[in-house]
Structure 1
Amino acid sequence: MNRFLICTILVAASAAAFASPQASDTRRDIDKVNGGITAEAGRAYGDLGTVNGGIQLDRGASADEVETVNGGITAGDEVSASEVSTVNGGIRFGRDGRISGNLETVNGGVFADRGTRVGGDVSTVNGAIGLVGTTVDGRIETVNGDVTVGADSRVALGIRIEKPKGNFGLNFGKHKTPRVVIGPNAVVEGPMVFEREVKLYVHASARIGSVNGATPVRYDGATPPKD
């Protein structure tokens, strides 16, 4: 065999053997119109997007933007992402999640389990928001949903519940009164602003800032009073 050819083969083999991990672990995007997406455990992705389908992120997966229109988003433990959003569907994160931006939906609930940190806001229009041992560096926003800032959670910039509006800013129909619970050892540092009637329950061990539009009802037990 030609000496030049042998040297070329050896150099190529050596380069493949010592290639950096980044070269083979490129964060690829996944973009669909119809169908769900599954991010495999421990793998890193770019943007994940679909129109009609849910998105599942298995334990330890990471991604940039995660978004769908018609479908829910479910993440296991130790999942990280930059932005997470859907229109018609709920969002659920397991323990120790890391979201650098917002968690948002329009028609669906949002839940985050212990150890999770959200760098932006948590918001929905029609759906409940529940946190357990979770830190939100932004604020919580909703219109028609219940809010539970559960045990050991912290919300830095407060809670805002807007007045329901129909088309052209007009109100239609009868709306359920949202129930807002600030649980044991929870902290809401920013103002709580309620543009509509709510039922506000605050645990004796919780710390809150100013309240506008509601009168807090204190409770001492593990669960708030029933309406």
Structure 2
Amino acid sequence: MPADDELFQALLYLEAHAGALKDERARRTAAIQRVTLWEYLREQADIHQVKAIADARAVNAEWAHLAPALAVNSPSAAYNKATRLRAVSLADQASCDQPVRRTPEAVLEAERRAAAQEAADRRAAAQAEQRHRLLAPIAHRLLENRDGLPDGEDVTYWLDEIAAVLPNCHTPTQFVSLETYVKAAARELNKVARQNAGSVGTTLDAQTAYAAAAELVAGG
């Protein structure tokens, strides 16, 4: 495949030489591929035109200024066309599970939903980071005192998982993984506690580390 900036010229060349293919099936296949590639180019043009319109609006270009550039006759028509063009970029977003209809109303509704989803994602990320700030010290204390904690197979496994993720825990996904491992370790330690009349750990620091983790699990 040629680069995007070469594809236009390549398609013009293939169009001019379409008759060079003598086999009818080969010509049909080549023509369909050209249709596909022209569609791709058209979509790319829409995306870049949307960006150009946004840049123009960012420096206070009025819709009346953009009307001739968009080949329409009025500011309202320019606004509506620009809104419809945004449907292409919205359709590329992962949050859109179906194409956005090219009407101003549909595009504005899709943008509203996308903005709401982005806000929800930001809130979730902030909550995960806040919870991580509470969780990380508990994870550190478990690791620092693991010599004083039971060394059963399941406890050791989850403490090893904590040790693997904790040093480079920076993303919401990693935060969730760390919380999962800490809670799993706390549950296994709690089983030991029930078997030993509530006693876990051979040192006070180990017992305190377990108590903090157990409180986290109890809090959900």
Q: Provide the TM-score with structure 1 as the length reference.
A: 0.21
**Structure whose alpha-carbon radius of gyration is higher:** 2
Higher normalized strand content (fraction of residues): 1
Ranked by relative contact order (alpha carbons within 8 Å, sequence separation 6 or more), the top structure is 2
